[in-house]
Each structure stands twice: as C-alpha cells, then as structure tokens.
Structure 1
Amino acid sequence: MMIYRLTSLSACLIAILYPGSIKATEWHDIEHHFSGVVDTRVGYVDSDKSYLTGGLGKLSADAGTQVSLSQLGLSYQAQWGDAWSSRLVANAYVDGINNGVGLTEAMVRYRDIPTESGIRVDVEFGLMYPNISLENVATAWASPYSLTYSTINSWLGEEVRHIGLSTTIEFLGKYRQSAHDFSLTGEALMYNDTSGAMLAWHGWTQSSRQTLLQETIPITAIPAMQPGGMLAEQAANSDPFTELDDRIGGHVVAKWTWRNHGSMQAGYYDNNANTHIVKQGQYAWLTQFGHVGAKWLLPYGVNLVSQYMQGSTLMTNTDGVPVVDNDFHSGYIMLNKRWSQHRVSVRIEDFSVTDNDDTPEDNNNEDGQSMTLAYQYQLDRPWFIQLEYNVIDSTRPARRYLNLPIDLIEQQWQLSSRYFF
C-alpha cells in the first residue's frame, strides 16, 4: 500500500513541479524565494494518553513535560515571469512521538494580471489544503495567533488535504473605485477518500501538527476492530492521502472582503467518495460539510477571527450497509489584539460528534468545549516568544473501552520560541 501510494502520488507531484504548459526557462531567469519557521517548545500536559499514542486524549502530547521541535517548516517558491509560479512546503517534527520530515504542500500556480474591470483568474494545481482556514495563514501553514490550532484546523492539518485543481475568479473593487472585493473558488479534488476516519475514531483534537505526505495515522484500538468485530478488516493505521475510487470530489467557497474592515466567507465540501470501496484495510468515507468564517476589525484595534463547520461522514461495508455514520460540528471565536511588541489572543470553542449508527462497541459520540489563552512578545522582527494555556473539557463514551474516565478535563501549558525567516 505504501509503495503504491508513493508511486501514484509521485507521478502527480512530478506533473506539479514540471508542468509541461510552462515555457522552458533557464534557472537564472527564475526568481527563487525561501522562507521558513523554527518553532521550539517546552510544554507540560495534564491529561490522559494522547490520541497519537493510542489513547483518547484531545492533545497531541502525553501527560508530563516535553521539550520538542514542534515545527521546522521550509517553503520554496519559484516565479516564472508575472503569472507562473510553483511552491513546495516541507515540515519536520522532533517531538518524541511522531518524529519525521516530509512534504506537506506542493503546487504550481497561474495568477493572471487583472483586467481593466478588475477581474483576475487564479489557478493552482497540486497537493494542497482546501481553501478554508482563516487561522493558518503564516509560513508553512503555521498560525500567527496561537501555538495550538483550533479543532477545525487541527482536523484539516491531520486528514483533510488533497491533490486537486483550484480555480478562483476575483472581482477587485479598486478597479471600480469600490472598497469591496469578491471571489468565487471552485476546487476539484482527489486522494482524500479516508477523510473522516480520524474524526470518527478519536474525535476532535487540538494540535499544531500537519500530517506529512508519507505518513499514516494510528487508530485507537477499540473492541469493534478486534477479530470478529464489524471493523476487524480496518487497517491499524489510516492513510489520509490515498485514492480508492477514482472519483473527483468538489469544494466551493465564496468570499467578500471590505477593505480595512474585514472579510466573510462560506463554502461547501464533498469528497464524493464511493463508500462501497475498501482496499487493503482502507475504507472510502463519504465526508461532506459546510463552513462559514469571518475576520473583522473591531473597535480599539481588536481583531475577530471566527469559523464554524457542520457536516457528516459515512463509512459502509462493500454492500453499502452503514458501519460508521456520524454528524459533526465545531466552531470557534477568537479575539486578538496587537500593540507595540505584544499580541494577546483568546479563543473559545464548542465541538461535537453524533453517532447515528448501531455498530456495537464503536461509540463515536462526543461533546466538548475548549479555551486557549496566548501571549506573544516580539523580540525582533522575525523572532517571537509565546506563552500559551489550553484547557479542554470533553465527554466521550468510547473512553470506557480503554478503562478511562468518560468525562475528561485536559490542560496544557507551553512556552515557545518561534523564528520566521
């Protein structure tokens, strides 16, 4: 499975990095740009076993003190003339749990010059995130606001990525003497047929880790996956970048921007998976959700960032009988304020998964809330020291399978040095 996946993905990435439609260009005629982030942390977690090490804790680290290289991100961009460019993003982690290095994004882009009426076409093809996050806007998909991503963006970083084609049409207001910009994005996507598996089997989580291209994700062992259970054929690890049914999914996003005030967006995602397909223990999951988000400048220089997501995910056997059938939602509101060398961010969240199937010994229900408090101090233009506190209060009945308390309050303290270059 690993060899097949890397072979098929490599063929796609070769097409991304060496697009035949771009006129041959000498190396010295290309503009090269490197940027990156080095994020080292000391943290303490008060929790049960992490979801990454076989437990059902909501945080990415086990209980106790950790010292880690939380992110070493490197982005390389090449520019051909005014319109064509390509970008590679790699990340590395040394955290004692899932040490590794690999690609997280790879794409080629065509971004046209606006017409006289302010219409511009922006096309990207490659390994990419769906156009959703309002939080992860810094180098290598880092968040400038907090060390730990919201539950929505933690899930996107874990298993909602794809190889696809994204086309955006922008209507730029400044060409019409207007402060309002509008855009419409359509994405065709593949290599994401298992999206939803981790949301079902460990629920919403909070981390700052992006799954690397070559990685698979361990699934918490539950009784239904034991011999004789309805999930006994499921592989021990989920492969988030596999293509099982050769079907194309879709994602659309509409966005309005009012310059110097803020922006709002709304979208709908459907991976269009054929749930009758299973290959080498990997099942196709039909995952669909709507999402809305806003960034807005409030009085006194306070910035509001908020997102909400609601949807469903379904996995069946090869006869189409539902085995895992879940509804889910998550939403957060974040306020942040910058002054001089300081930034303070406060984020509150609510999330849930509703289990609609009757599969025995596979209870996916959960409900929870969380709060994040972050303080950032800028030592130098690219260097930041950040202190953060996270608390998550969640109820998940499946914890009884591991002889853990169903209700769990988890806390995390982190001190980080982040250097952007």
Structure 2
Amino acid sequence: MGAALLSFSSFPALAADTPETGLLTAYANLDLAAADGPRSWLDDGGTGKGRFGNPHGDGLRVRPYVTEAGLVLQPDFGWSLSGLVSVIAQHDQDKAVDVSEAYLRWRPLPLGNVRLNVRAGIFWPQVSLEHGGGEWPVRETITPSAINSWIGEEVKVGGVEATFSTIIAGNRLSLTAAGFELNDTAGTLLTFRGWALHDEKATLFGFQPLPFMNDFMRGAQAGATRPMIDLDHHVGWYAKLSWAPPGPFELQYFHYDNRGDPEAVDAGQQWGWRTRFDHLGATLDLDAKTRLTTQAIDGTTIMGFPMGAEGRRWIDMRYRSVFLLATRQVMMGSAAGSVSGRIETFDTRNHGSEVLSDDNETGWAATAAARWSLLRHATLFAEALHIDSRREARLREGIAPRQHENILRLSLRLRGIVGD
C-alpha cells in the first residue's frame, strides 16, 4: 500500500495501489546517455557502478540507446480477480525478451473496515518508494537509488503475498505478509560487485554478469548469477507494516528472509545465499507539491561452508545504505512535471573465511533529475548522476580502488494502450 495512502493528488500512486485496466499497454524508453566512468558492470562484468560507462577513459562517451521496451497485459477476470503479465526487452539483457512479472491478484469486497489484496506469482516485494506502475518504472528520476536498484536486480520473488489494510481512529494501517521461493541467489551481486545505481531489472530466466573474483571464488562460483532460481526448496518470507497517521506522513517497516541454504549448489555453480534485511521507509509531504522520501536498509548475507576453528562461512557480509529524495511538482509552461534531488550513502563489510576486507566497499551518490509530461503518451526525463565509490578488489584488475563516475541521461518514455 505504501506512501500513496496519504498522497496528495499531484503525486502518482504506488504500483500496489494502481488499479488494473484490463488492457494491453506497450511502452519504450529511448535514451541519450553520456558517461565518463569505467566499463559498466553490465558490460561483461566491468567495475563501473552505473548502467553506462566509457571503457576508453577519454572523457564523456555519448550514445543513444533503446534502454527498455515491453508489453504489459492486465486482464480482468471478474469476481474480484485480475492479473498482470509483463514481458520486457532491455539493453544488455542476456535474453532478447523475457518475463518481468506475472501474477494473479484477488481483491474481494471489503469486510467491514478491512480490505484484502492478494497476489500470487512472480513480482517484486513492496519495498521501493521510487517505483510505481504496471511496468515498474521509477516515477521521478531515471535511475533508482542503490537500495531500489538492488531490489530490482536481486529481490524479485515467486510466491504468495497478502495485504490487509484498515483505518483506526484516522490512522491508516496495513500489514503485508508473503511466502516465496525463486530467490536463493539474492546477495551474489551485492557481494562480488557491491552496490550499483541503474535501472536494469531482473527477469525470470535471465543472468547478470559478475566482476573478476578472487582465486578461490573463481573456482567455486559461476561467472554470472541467475537472480530467479530455487536451489533448496526452502520457503522464504517477508512482512511489512505501514502506518499513516492523520496528516501528510507515512512510515513503513519491512523484514525479509529468504531462508536460503548457504551450502546449496547446482551443477552450474549457482549457490544458495542466506540473505536477510531490515528496511525502514518514510514519506513526508511538506505541502501539496513537495515530498521528502527516505529509505534505509541494513542486512546480512552468508554463503558457502564453515571453515577453520571459528567455523566462518566462505562469505559473511553486512550491507547498509540510506537515501533522502526531495521532489517538487512544478508546471513547466503548459506541461506538468517535477524536479528532484537525491543524496545517498552505501557500504559493505565482509567477515568470511574466503571473501575478506578487500571486497569491502564504501561510497556515496548524488542525483538531480527533472520530469516533463509532454503529451498524453510521452514523458521526458533529464538526469545527472555522480557516483563515488572505493573498493580494494578493483586492484585485481589493475584498477585504482576509488572511482568517480558521471552519467548524464535524457530519456523519452513512450507509453500507450494498444487499441486506444
């Protein structure tokens, strides 16, 4: 349910609150990107944190891209039952076309003051306060925060989720609980690559590239990770509690545990990871046009067998990140739009027997963005992103541990209902 429970009309609703249309939507994102950073992690496992980089190291490299295109079908079956199926093609996606989300939704009539919303299938958990809509786009910027970039790339699940919501003495409360599988490798990218800021999304059958690992892990771990796979048949779970008191404020707490077996491995060297995190998110509307959004995450992930007298797993990592986003709705001539600024920090700390402090990471990023609604079916975004990170593991490739990256993007989002 999230922050939209008390949203002013000028702010778009979150995906969980967007009603199904029963129609087929087609969309495409056309980008012009300029980047001066190192080779992107999406480019055969480079060391860059952004979606784009310049492997030649000669200043800004400017190129056009079709970053994403897809179809979203939202059928209405009647009797409170609907669905969503999203297929997607992305620049740098290893499959030409793949499934993004596919689920059934049941919304029965309210029972007194209590509403129920059930999803079953493949979907993202209700964590991000930056995404919303059938194709799960970022609403006010092009690039999501490091937190929600990771949610998008490694925390998609296959399962059943139920949300109960009600109003008590003017307070809007919602409780979400879910059981899931297909998420055993969550933590792989975050450990070997670290945090990143990008709008690439995990798909049902896709793989994501990993960077150059240490000698031990190169013999144990595949060079690419599959975000949606089940290795141990353990059912993970998550729960979320949202509270919106009278007034322009909303707070949510989210706990996630995939209950992965850190010793599970398949023939392709895809490993199970026991990944857990706690998350806090909040929105505050300063007035009808200005919103502050913040999210913070603190978690751990472990993988491999116990080693030595202390019985430490091969990988035992703690990860943390926090961001603050300010958005102001504005009129740009006759076009409605917004301007946004975001600041964030992130780090990881390793205490395993085989992945040690050289894979630790610290960093921060700053983003400035603007959005213009040009036409009914076209929205233009502009964004400047700066990322500063330090990771000693880059020395394995003869690269300086500290990297500065600048990415400038113009993105035209085209979206229309087929047959409209």
TM-score, normalization by structure 2 = 0.86
Matching residue of 1:68: 65
Post-superposition CA distance 1:224-280 (Å, at most 9, x none): 2xxxx2551211211111111111011000011346613211010000011121112
Q: Quick check: 77-86 or 391-400, which moved more?
A: 77-86
1:82 Cα offset (Å): 4.2
1:283 corresponds, among 261, 271, 294, to 271
1:34 corresponds, among 24, 30, 47, to 24
- Name the CA distance, whole Å, in 1 between partners of 2:200 and 2:359: 23
Is contact 1:333-1:348 (8 Å) kept?
A: yes
SS of match in other structure, 1:282 = coil
Return closer, same or farther for 1:188/1:217 CA change in 2, 3 Å cut-off: same
Return closer, same or farther for 1:171/1:300 CA change in 2, 3 Å cut-off: closer
1:360 Cα offset (Å): 6.1
1:262 corresponds, among 213, 234, 249, to 249
Post-superposition CA distance 1:295-352 (Å, at most 9, x none): 2211362111111110000001388751111000011110001122231010111100
Return closer, same or farther for 1:360/1:296 CA change in 2, 3 Å cut-off: closer
Please tell me the root mean square deviation across aligned C-alpha atoms, in Å: 2.0
Matching residue of 2:341: 346
Matching residue of 1:316: 304
Aligned pairs, how many? 382
Is contact 1:276-1:318 (8 Å) kept?
A: no
Q: Amino acid of the residue matched to residue 356 of structure 1? A: H
- Name the CA distance, whole Å, in 2 between partners of 1:302 and 1:266: 23
1:73 Cα offset (Å): 3.1
1:108 corresponds, among 104, 109, 112, to 104
Q: Percent identity, aligned pairs only?
A: 27
Q: Amino acid of the residue matched to residue 200 of structure 1? A: T
1:294 corresponds, among 282, 294, 317, to 282
Q: Amino acid of the residue matched to residue 386 of structure 1? A: F
Q: Quick check: 403-412 or 336-345, which moved more?
A: 336-345
- Name the CA distance, whole Å, in 2 between partners of 1:232 and 1:404: 22
2:125 corresponds, among 106, 123, 130, to 130
TM-score, normalization by structure 1 = 0.86
SS of match in other structure, 2:395 = helix
Is contact 2:42-2:92 (8 Å) kept?
A: no
Alignment pair present for 1:153 and 2:173: no
SS of match in other structure, 1:142 = coil
Alignment pair present for 1:46 and 2:42: no
Q: Amino acid of the residue matched to residue 111 of structure 2? A: T
Matching residue of 1:249: 236
Is contact 2:349-2:357 (8 Å) kept?
A: no
- Name the CA distance, whole Å, in 2 between partners of 1:302 and 1:288: 33
Q: Quick check: 313-322 or 188-197, which moved more?
A: 313-322
Matching residue of 1:204: 195
SS of match in other structure, 1:312 = strand
Matching residue of 1:86: 83
Q: Quick check: 386-395 or 250-259, which moved more?
A: 250-259
Matching residue of 1:327: 318
- Name the CA distance, whole Å, in 2 between partners of 1:72 and 1:264: 33
Is contact 2:306-2:314 (8 Å) kept?
A: no
- Name the CA distance, whole Å, in 1 between partners of 2:249 and 2:26: 27
Q: Amino acid of the residue matched to residue 126 of structure 2? A: N
SS of match in other structure, 1:158 = helix
Alignment pair present for 1:271 and 2:258: yes
Q: After superposition, where does 1:378-393 map in structure 2 within 5 Å?
A: 378-393=373-388
- Name the CA distance, whole Å, in 2 between partners of 1:362 and 1:73: 41
Q: Amino acid of the residue matched to residue 282 of structure 1? A: Q
SS of match in other structure, 2:183 = coil
- Name the CA distance, whole Å, in 2 between partners of 1:217 and 1:51: 9
User: Which runs of 5 or more residues in structure 1 are unaligned?
Assistant: 1-29
Alignment pair present for 1:142 and 2:137: yes
Matching residue of 1:121: 116
- Name the CA distance, whole Å, in 1 between partners of 2:136 and 2:40: 23
Q: Amino acid of the residue matched to residue 44 of structure 1? A: A
- Name the CA distance, whole Å, in 2 between partners of 1:361 and 1:180: 46
Q: Quick check: 31-40 or 329-338, which moved more?
A: 31-40
Give the structure, 1 or 2, with the largest relative contact order (CA under 8 Å, sep 6 or more).
2
1:100 Cα offset (Å): 2.7
Is contact 2:317-2:352 (8 Å) kept?
A: yes
Q: Amino acid of the residue matched to residue 131 of structure 2? A: N
Q: Quick check: 388-397 or 291-300, which moved more?
A: 291-300
SS of match in other structure, 2:153 = helix
SS of match in other structure, 2:135 = helix
SS of match in other structure, 1:293 = strand
1:362 Cα offset (Å): 7.8
Is contact 1:155-1:205 (8 Å) kept?
A: yes
